[in-house]
Amino acid sequence: MNLIIASNEDSASINLRDRLLEMSEWSTDGEFDNNTLWKLTRNYGEFCKKNTRLITINKIHIHAEKIDEIWVEKTGLNIENIVFLSRHKAASGKPSLTVHPIGNWGAAEYGGDEGKISGTSPNWMTSLLLNIKKNQIEGYDVCFEATHHGPLLKTPTIFLEIGSTESEWEKIEPAKALIKSLLNLKPVKGINVIGIGGGHYTPRFTEAALTHEVCFGHMIPNYGIPHLTEEIILKAIEKSDAIGIYFHRKGMKKSEYQKWKEWAAKKKITVFKQTDYEIRNLSS
């Protein structure tokens, strides 16, 4: 069973939740955090299956620490994946539709713990990116974001976001595009990797996932590289169910690329090039 979480502290989250309730069939199933608990009554795609639960929490979701453990303790129901419905905020103000994994490479300024990362869902998250691209709205960018912010969870987790300013957060059309993408979600083919290098909006990793059969778990941007240790890279690989690393080689310092490429070779961890992946058929 999968769990979808909205937050009363986030207008985009409530917008997405309301579109989800409108566009699919749910029944009430009690309460959670003093808000209605919803249960999906039929299958939509392969992620939103019958009995998927939808909850609304009162705190902002980046601080919903251990919400997966709290859920199991309160309901007795195990969950396989979590999707948080969320706003995206950026200084650029560029309208955008994004997905990303969660965790902190360095300091935990926005939830979670310093240097700790949550589980990821590479196949689901990459498939969600592909669906959003298919449902793209004119004027909105579609991309991954690098791993950032809390909460810290054991369960594989995806943030699904509308950005980048308040004027987009409550618009119906982008919310419907994201919910349509979620409701039609099916697993996608691809080699699971982690990404290292480049900017926060991961242009190289987004482009690779859209054009080739590769699925990304954790993504480490340039600002996270100084915090990297052998231990945290191995943890990122483990939590991404990954079989190797994909570097944005031209988007990072040459010295850092050489350092971690040589480390991967010593550890017998595969370093992939884009030519190692099959071409993805986006029309399928």
- Per-residue tens of pLDDT for the chain, all 284 residues: 999 999 999 999 999 999 999 999 999 999 999 999 999 999 999 999 999 999 999 999 999 999 999 999 999 999 999 999 999 988 788 999 999 999 999 999 999 999 999 999 999 999 999 999 999 999 999 999 999 999 999 999 999 999 988 889 999 999 999 999 999 999 999 999 999 999 999 999 999 999 999 999 999 999 999 999 999 999 999 999 999 999 999 999 999 999 999 999 999 999 999 999 999 987 65
Which pTM value belongs to this model?
0.97
pLDDT at 284: 54
DSSP H/E element including 172? helix 172-183
**Bridge partners of 143?**
98
Helices (H), ranges, 53-171: 67-75, 122-134, 166-169
Provide φ and ψ at 90, rounded to 5°.
-145, 145
CA distance 75 to 77: 5
CA distance 245 to 263: 11
Terminal CA-CA length for the chain? 26
Beta-carbon contacts of residue 194 (< 8 Å; ≥ 6 apart): 216, 217, 218, 219, 220, 233, 236, 237, 240, 242, 245, 246
Beta-carbon contacts of residue 61 (< 8 Å; ≥ 6 apart): 5, 7, 9, 10, 13, 84, 86, 151, 159
The DSSP letter of residue 146 is -
pLDDT at 54: 98
pLDDT at 93: 82
Q: Where are the beta strands (DSSP E) in 174-247?
A: 191-196, 214-220, 244-247
CA distance 106 to 59: 23
Closest to 55 measured CA to CA, from 87, 22, 24, 20: 20
| Domain spans of the chain, in order of start | 2-276
The DSSP letter of residue 63 is G
- The radius of gyration of the chain's CA atoms, rounded to the nearest angstrom, is 18
pLDDT at 117: 98
pLDDT at 28: 98
CA distance 88 to 79: 25
Name the CATH code of domain 2-276 (choices 3.40.630.50, 3.30.360.10, 3.40.1010.10, 3.40.50.720): 3.40.630.50
Exposed e or buried b per residue across 31-56, where buried means at least 16 C-beta atoms within 10 angstroms of its C-beta:
ebbeeebbbbeeebeebbeeebbbbb
pLDDT at 90: 83
